[in-house]
Amino acid sequence: MQRLFAISLVVLVIFPFLSCRKHDALSNIRRGDFSIVCKDTYRGQLRFLGEGKEHKGFVDALRREIERNSNVLDLISERFYTIPYNAYRFKFAALDERKNLMVLRYFARIIEHPVYAGYQIQFLFDLESQKLLMVYTSEVPLE
């Protein structure tokens, strides 16, 4: 009888818990939760990573995840900006070694605007856990 109770407990309580879909931060943004997005520029000390350099596999995996959910870039822009823009493009990956972060930057150009060149979105990932911690977005002025 106790064994039947234990099996029932596993089936009724633990199994549904384990089978629940994990919602990541990008999914939260797609559902309208912008709590990890702030309108600002990340100001940490960054060391830019070149093409084919260190952390390439990690950067490629992060890019695939963001670009597979490319509507996240548009949702962030629609939330914070009103001026139309071109498609976002990946610009660079950089490390903030002091804070153990990977930063991926995307940029979308604004055509013929008198003040802004475009919008940027910076995704900050923890290097160890590979978890998305914060998203920064800002206008990029013309130079």
pLDDT digits (tens, 9 = 90+) for 24-33: 899 999 999 9
Contact 40, 134 (CB under 8 A): no
Distances (CA, A) of 62 to 80, 129, 140: 23, 12, 23
Contact 110, 85 (CB under 8 A): yes
Q: What is the pLDDT of residues 73-110, one digit of tens each?
A: 999 999 999 999 999 999 999 999 999 999 999 999 99
Query: How many angstroms separate the CA atoms of 74 and 121, rounded?
Result: 10
Contact 143, 117 (CB under 8 A): yes
pTM, rounded to two decimals: 0.81
- Give the pLDDT score at 53: 72
Contact 103, 46 (CB under 8 A): yes
